[in-house]
Amino acid sequence: MNLGEKLIEIRKSVPYLKKENTGNQYAYVGSSQVLASVKSKMDELKVLLVPEVRDAKVSEKTETKKDGKFTITYFTELFMTMTWLDAENTTDKISVPWYAQGVDIAGEKGVGKALTYGEKYFMLKFFNIPTDKDDPDAFQLKHSDKIEEREIDIDKIFDEISDAFVKSISIVQLNGNGSKYKNSFPLFDEEKQKKLKNIFSLRMNDLMEQGVDK
């Protein structure tokens, strides 16, 4: 089994992670949770992940409060290379450029936070691990519901625009509605866009024949 095949096996072993930690009123997947999910399979297949910091950048931002005191926030950026290595065949490796960042007030923890952040999100993104606060079935169902809900909303918007065009009582009002809703046109497919344009044109012709300018 080569390195690529081993990485696929690792990905298969973690189809989903539930958000268990909470902070700032939202749920999230912790770094230790992500690492624990892949570590046993990595050990079993003798796969190593070697992080390398190629470059680093630290910037400061000073904020003065109303009481005259100030705080300094340190923003650390790491430009990294994450290398997968097959311990059974060290010539078999896969290197991936990666970027990480960390924010800290004290300053000395910025690099550590960036490394932790970088490793966690590298694992999640490399292995395409979905993270949702519910179980996998609910994850699929919720996303299907969102798609259906979005389609319903788009239909409502389409009807709203159509009604606005048809009910325009003057050319000025019709042009105003055209400007008002023009940014919504990209929401629709080509067929719906043509229908709206036809409705607009027909109403414009009617108003011009009636001589209603204002």
Place of tokens 């003065």: 64
Task: Give pLDDT, residue 48.
Answer: 97
Task: Give pLDDT, residue 79.
Answer: 95
Among 21-30, 63-72, 73-82, 153-162, the range scoring the smallest mean pLDDT is 21-30
Q: Is 56 left (phi over 0), alpha (psi -120 to 50) or beta?
A: beta
Q: Considering the entire predicted model, what is its pTM?
A: 0.55
Q: Which domains does the chain have, with CATH numbers?
A: 3-133 (3.30.390), 138-210 (no CATH)
More confident residue, 25 or 175: 175
Task: Give pLDDT, residue 25.
Answer: 40
Helix (H, G, I), strand (E, B) or coil at 105: coil
pLDDT, tens digit (0-9, with 9 covering 90-100), for 107-162: 668 888 889 888 988 988 898 887 655 444 444 444 444 444 444 467 778 888 88
The tokens for 117 are 């952040």
Q: Is 54 left (phi over 0), alpha (psi -120 to 50) or beta?
A: alpha
